Amino acid sequence: MAVNNIQPPAELMKLIKKRDSTKRSMDTIKTFIDKYNPKTKSFNQLQTRLDSLIQYMSKYESYQDEIEDHESVTPDELNHRANTNDFFCSLKADILDLIERQTKAPSNISGAPSQPIKKIIRDTMKLPSIPAPTFDGHLQNWVSFLDAFNAMFHYNQAYDALVDRFENKSLIIQSHVRSLFQTPQVHEPAANELRQLHHHVVSQVNSLRALNQPVDEWDAWLVTLLCCRLDPTTVGEWQLLQSTKDLPKFTDLEKFLANRVSAYEVGEVGNQSTQLKPSSASVRPIQKRVLFNQADKIPSKERQCIVCPERHRLSTCENFNKMSLSERQDVVFKNKLCYNCLFPGHQVRQCRSGNCNKCGKRHHTKLHTTALVNLTNADGHQVQCRAILDSGSQVCLITKECASRLNISVIKSSLSIAGIGSVTAKTGTMITTTLSSRINEFESFINFHIIESITNSLPSHHININLFHIPHTIKSCLADPYFNQPASVDILLGAEIFFELLFGESLKINPFVKLHNTSLGWVFTGAVQINDISPTSTSLLIRYSNQSVVAVTGQSYSNKFSSEFKAEDHFKTNVSRDNLGRFVVRLPFIQDPSILGDSRLMAQQRFYNLERKLLKNPTLASDYKNFMNEYLDLDHMEIAQETYGPTYYLPHHCVFKSNSLTTKIHVVFDGSATTKSGHSLNDILLCGPTVQPDLISIILRFRIHKMALTTDITKMYRQIRVSPEDCDFQRICYQDSPAEPLKDYRFLTVTYGTRAASFLATRCLLELSYNVENYATQRAIQQGFYVDDLLSGGQSYTEWYELYQNLSNELNKANLPLRKWWSNSISVMLKMSTPESDPTYSLTINEEDTINTLGLTWQPSTDCFKFVFKDLLRPIHMTKRTLLSNINSVYDPLGFLTPVLIKGKIFMQQLWFSKLNWDTPLSIEMQTTWTNFYQGLKSLELLSIPRCVPFDNTASVELHGFCDASQNFFGACIYFRSAITLQCQLYCSKSRVAPLKASTIPRLELCGALLFAELASIVIRELGRINVHCNPSNVILWFDSSIVISWINSDKPLKSYVSNRIAQILDLTHPSQCHVPTTSNPANLISRGCSAELLLTNTLWWNGPKWLSQTKDLWPPVKCPSDNQFEERYLSWSIMIRIAAYILRFNHNTRTKVVSNRRFTSLSVAELANAEKILLRKVQSISFASDLAELKAHKPAGRRSALRALNPFLDSDGLLRVGGRLINADIAYTSKCPILLPANSKTTGLKGLIIILLL
């Protein structure tokens, strides 16, 4: 839709729910504190609640930050933080007050500061007291009493004994020095290791200083010792800071380390895995570093095994696998490992690894794209190898074993491979050879970097290929005929060749598996279910909780994804065909149907209400009766027999569709009506996944076919039978007239209104396609249907007629008859034979008539899309709710009317800012504005938009995208251009409302570019599905903003907001970027909007800029944005100085808190002079750095200095001037001692000075 729905996006709703859940947790703590009673609740509960409150507030802040950054956030959500902050501060203060009152001892002095909580708790914990000995007065007990008393209270002897034993200054000093020499080695520049080393060394040095040792004179050996213990990167950075050859001080090195630790800690807060690059080529050799994307194995060092001394995963340890079940459980328990993946750090409920089928749970695994290829060895012979295709890897890899088989001479290289978690591995050799396909003549010369191993065997388990319905024409062209059998991987083909292999053609095998056509053959991708898993070393133990332990290669799936798998599996298990070819299915129950209560009374009452309505409208009652009798006549319904099992009765009512060409009356059944138990039929049914393409994808492909074809399946749901065991859950109450008794019926087919109906019907259609041998017909069934409506076609009459015949034959085999056939060619329609039994088999319409298909209005006679608008029915009270309903009634999936509908969105946005409630009546002025806007849409009914774009052949296809933005909206539009006929036509467009949080125009234009990339990726994908492959060089993105072009092409680090979106753009597509004048940018209409009258005749919108319909030599010249554009604007030194002065004034005013001391008048002479001096000092500090350092140290210029002959000196302003014999001349000071500037440096010119100023 061209208009945003009132409901926030699902992504934003998810964040809001998480935030509100956290707020409710804080409310629970508030309730506890309000009811807290120290007599019944322990003191520790207060501290626990305080810790929990702080954690919840931290989570709340995180979620709220994400919400406020979302583009669809509302003002109410932006104001949510203030109230919560007040609530948190108040609640935290209440808890601290309670803690202070509870922890104060009776002897505390009034007003004494409260102690830290941990200390209070420690002080209140009492050890068992030792009673002092008492003397009872008997002389015979005196000696024992005295011995006991001296042993308990004779502290002096104990103190003297300790001093005598340990007060040895020589040994103490030697111990500290020995500890310095045993300082641990730092292996990498990480905060943790550097912090420990810094603390260790400083504590030992301070102890030695306290022992009166001359540590301040030990700089030489302390610095040397410390540098030997630091990693090379840190030592290199320390050496770069040493500007002199003097011996560095230990205190300087200690400060350097302290700053380094602080910097690394800050970096690790934002990035959990800090990666440091060498700051100088002299410190570490520059190595090429590439990314390696792999989920099964990372080329890294394995963990130390906890069972044996070797380094490998516990799951692959032979000693561990030889243990008994109880022994393995004991190892896992003692080492606090996860019982699911055998890794530390989390519990089973937090584990993301998948479950194992061996314990009765479903296990899913990733289906990798493998292929058998030929590599040329040293003798020129072909050697077959197994390859995995990985678009996330920047290089191609080969195992060491495979490289040795080829016996090709290796080449030295230096390559660092970064895997998941920033773990790196190095390879120092590579080979070069020719890769060729087994299927066709494809060849490519590739560099392979040699690595020990790439991954484990793939797939991880044997896959039952009987679950896949692979077409016969494709089965013989599989890239890897043994893709289902675990085997080793020899080579990895990365991004440098990955995209050259793809043809863009794909085939959906089931909702989770796809086939893609490549130069190596057809490859599989997706997720598959493993039902029969053979025991391997990765299936380690099963705990009494029935929890499986498998390797970490498993995947975790959301509940929704899991339920979709269950629905798919249920369908495969229970689907069948009867003797007439009809599909027979079972209802996919997720719970036992016995939980359903009685529903007949509810259904009976709903029917009586319906009957009273029908009695008031005899025509409607007659149509309703005919509809129900048709159910009986077609054997889609029967009288229900008495049963003692669970049942469910569906309430029903009618819907009148005036625009339907066949059935005007539709009866709707309510599967969500609750029974007496509180459950409905839909509550206990699985919904199932979506198995058909989205509507926009179908329409985009529909615009390519020169000869269109539309049809739909006759009563699609009712052509699919439901197994007799489940029919009693589809009962209804019905009678023809009030004079007849109310009867119970049950449906024998899939019933719309039940939760699983759509999935069952469309999944049967997909199941039918698996048995179709003709590829074009199979593709039309899988990609052209939206529920029961088909939009397809062909490029010629032969192709069209063949598709028509094949579709009819294949669907008739499943008793799914097609009707309402139509095409844009009247001559073709006349050749179709219409059976007498079905007058609606093919449509007979007049030249002016239109057809509604998938929500679009299509006029076959002109082959154009049309728009029809309902009359505006003014309600009693026009509110924000009614306006949203009006604008949502305009259906425009491809964005033809975006510039006009933008006006409506702007009006809605103004209503939003006015903070009106949904049902508050609008002012008369607002009502008039909206009425004029909506009624103006009626003029758009004159539009005739050609359905078919100018498509000749794949090589001639060009896609031109335009994007633009304003403070309110940003959008993009794509034009389809033929390089042969030079025709250009609007293909689709998309717009979005700018975030409420203010942003700059360049950033919004970047959002428009991202919107184009998203739209273009969909267009390219859908064109590829019908074998229209657009060359990447023919995808061009036009901007009227040179800033965005420079961002996309920049190699410099950019702000996160910019770099993240550029990364998404380049990930989705790689368009060429060109500059277009604003007057020639059709996307300018999206960002600003226009009236309906102007859109009717706006050729810029419908056909793009005029020059797009001309040859390329007449297009606007490509202008590369220059980094020097700014400096070229200023051509005089005086303007440069004034700019510098204003920048310095701004700096002064921002730092001055007293307003009266700020400067607001015209620039003074002093400010201009100061600005000039700063610019000159900056130039000199860059060009004459060494000379300035010598002169500041009161030394003459160095022997090798180019300025030595000029006898330079520093004046009172710190400027470098020429000295010499003219110093005593009777001329102006600036003439006899001119300021020194470099002769052949860029900084001498005006441009250089501007660059310096901006640094």
DSSP letters spanning 999-1044: --HHHHHHHHHHHHHHHHHHHHHHHHHTT----GGGEEEEES-HHH
pLDDT tops 50 at residue 924: yes
Mean pLDDT for 214-240 is 83
The domain in which residue 118 lies consists of 10-124
502-511, 725-734, 942-951: the lowest-pLDDT one: 502-511
Residue 354, pLDDT above cutoff 60: no
Where is the domain boundary, 306, 333, 359?
Answer: 359
Task: Check residues 893 and 263 and name the one with the higher pLDDT.
Answer: 893
pLDDT higher than threshold 80 for residue 547: no
H or E element in which residue 148 lies: helix 142-153
Q: Is 627 inside any structural domain?
A: no
Give pLDDT, residue 418.
65
**Which residues, 6 or more positions from 41, have their beta carbon under 8 angstroms from its beta carbon?**
none
pTM of the full structure: 0.53
Residue 727: pLDDT above 90? yes
Partnered with residue 429 across adjacent β-strands are 412
Q: Are residues 67 and 197 in the same domain?
A: no
Helices (H), 715-774: 757-769
Phi, psi of 825 (to 5 degrees): -105, 110
- Total domains in the fold of the chain: 7
Is the per-residue pLDDT at 507 higher than 50?
yes
Burial level of 783, CB count in 10 A (0-12/13-18/19+)? buried
Overall average pLDDT of the 1061-1066 stretch:
87
Q: Considering the domain boundaries, does residue 134 fall inside one?
A: no
Q: Which of 1076, 1061, 974 is nearest to 1017 (CA)?
A: 974
Looking at the fold, whether 452 and 355 belong to one and the same domain comes out as no
* 31 Cα distance to chain centroid: 38
Give me the mean pLDDT over the 616-631 stretch: 90
Residue 148 located in a structural domain:
no
- Is the pLDDT confidence value at 1114 over 60? yes
The residue among 359, 376, 411 that closes a domain is 359
Kindly indicate the confidence band of residue 975, based on its pLDDT and cuts at 50, 70 and 90: very high
The candidate with the shortest Cα–Cα distance to 973, out of 890, 1082, 864, 1048, is: 1082
**266 and 340 assigned to the same domain:** no
Residue pair 624/704 in contact by the 8 Å Cβ criterion: no
**What pLDDT, on the 0 to 100 scale, is given for residue 636?**
94
Report pLDDT for 540.
26
Residues 954 and 1047 in one domain: yes
CATH number at residue 473: 2.40.70.10
pLDDT band at 954 (very low <50, low <70, confident <90, very high): confident
Alpha helix positions (H), 599-694: 600-615, 618-633
Check pLDDT > 70 for residue 587: yes
In a domain, 373, yes or no: yes
Question: Is residue 839, in this structure, part of any structural domain at all?
Answer: yes
Q: Are 791 and 854 in contact (CB under 8 A)?
A: yes
| Any domain includes 421 | yes
Specify the pLDDT at position 864. Answer: 93
What is the Cα–Cα distance from 361 to 350, expressed in whole angstroms?
A: 17
Give tens-digit pLDDT for 432-459.
Answer: 899 999 888 888 888 898 988 888 778 8
Please work out, in degrees rounded to the nearest 5, the angle formed at the alpha carbon of residue 108 by the alpha carbons of 105 and 113.
105
Q: Which of 487, 517, 534 is the last residue of a domain?
A: 534
**Cα–Cα distance for residue pair 768/577, rounded to 1 Å:** 11
Cα-Cα end-to-end distance for the chain: 47
Mean pLDDT of 842-864: 80
Q: Is the pLDDT of residue 296 over 80?
A: no
Let me know if residue 414 belongs to a domain.
Answer: yes
pLDDT (average), residues 1150-1179? 86
Burial class (CB in 10 A: 0-12, 13-18, 19+), 243: exposed
pLDDT of residue 147: 59
pLDDT in the model for residue 1127: 45
336 and 477 in a single domain? The answer is no
Instruction: Output b/e per residue, 382-417; b: 16+ Cβ within 10 A.
Output: ebebbbbbbeebbbbbbbeebbeebebeeeeeebeb
Model confidence pLDDT, tens digit, residues 1175-1225: 888 888 888 888 888 888 888 877 778 787 788 888 888 888 888 767 777
Q: State residue 843's pLDDT score.
A: 61
Claim to verify: residue 337 and residue 430 sit in the same structural domain = no
Residue partners of 899: CB distance under 8 A and separation at least 6: 1085, 1086, 1088, 1089, 1090, 1095, 1098, 1101
State what percent of residues in the chain have pLDDT above 90.
22
Closest CA to 1036 of 1005, 1009, 1002, 1054: 1009
Cβ-Cβ contacts under 8 Å for 690 (sequence gap 6 or more) = 511, 762
Residues 778 and 659 in one domain: yes
- Tell whether 721 and 845 lie within a shared domain: yes
The answer on 1096 and 959 residing in a single domain is: yes
Higher-pLDDT residue of 559 and 399 is 399
Write the DSSP assignment of 1066-1081 as a string of letters.
Answer: HHH---EEEE--GGG-
pLDDT tens-digit profile of 391-418? 767 789 999 889 988 988 888 776 767 6
Tell me the CB-side half-sphere exposure of residue 988, using CA atoms within 13 A.
27
State the CB neighbour count (10 A cutoff) for residue 753.
19
Six token digits for residue 282: 């002299």
> Residues with Cβ < 8 Å from 785, sequence gap 6 or more?
692, 762, 765
Sign of CA dihedral 731, 733, 734, 735: positive
Residue 1136 phi/psi, 5° resolution?
Answer: -60, -45
Q: Is the pLDDT of residue 539 over 60?
A: no
Flag whether 990 is in a domain: yes
Do 1223 and 1080 belong to one domain?
no
pLDDT at 702 over 50: yes
**Model confidence over 1018-1044: pLDDT tens digits?**
999 898 888 888 888 889 999 888 888
Q: Tell me: do 20 and 91 sit in the same domain.
A: yes
Give 643's Cβ-side CA count (13 Å radius): 17
> 667 and 810: one domain?
yes
Res. 126 pLDDT band, cuts 50 70 90: very low
pLDDT tens, position by position, 659-682: 555 556 788 899 999 999 999 999
Place of tokens 């948190």: 88
